[in-house]
Amino acid sequence: MEQIYLAGGCLWGVQEFIKYVPGVISTEAGRANGSAQPTENKTAQSDSTQSDYDGYAECVQIEFDPSITSVTILMEHLFEIIDPYSVNKQGVDVGEKYRTGVYSTNAEHLTEAKHYISSRDDADRIAVEVLPLTNYVASDDIHQHHLSHFPEDHHLCHIPWDLLHKYKSQ
């Protein structure tokens, strides 16, 4: 199994969409590449999920089976749900934390993601960052699989409901 971190605006929608993609084993909502470190006590005021914005991107940690899917295929799926030309904005969510990105500790994943982007006809317009993962903090429990538990909050998500569950029945 391998891990990659995808950012595509609000993490609720990204997690709800990507968890049904064939080859995805598990997902966790979180924050990538901020400066804060996770703490043992999730309720502590110093916990990065309870503190001021520290430069992170909302993301989803994805564990996937490389014998079933690949970084390229996961990139294709990410591009189904994002505006790849938008900087720090997806749908109504605006701000640096809603930027799009691909993060990994595996250099081969980053190479494959960059190759996917560079091979597209619109590569010069794409605003998706591809960077090494320097830090990851899991989101609080209320954000894990949020749209599965609270589908009434879908109106806060930029991804249409039918697209959100495109792979659910497979």
Catalytic residues: 10
CA dist 32 and 61 (Å) reads 9
With b meaning 16 or more CB within 10 Å and e meaning fewer, what string describes 114-144?
A: bebbeeeeeeeebebebeebebbbbbeeebb
* Host H or E run for residue 103: strand 100-104
Residue 90, H or E segment: strand 89-90
Position 149, amino acid? H
Question: What DSSP line would sit under 15-31, residue for residue?
Answer: HHHHTTSTTEEEEEEEE
- Rounded Cα distance between 13 and 26, Å, is 15
CB distance 169 to 21 below 8 Å: no
Q: How far is CA 29 from the centre of its chain?
A: 8
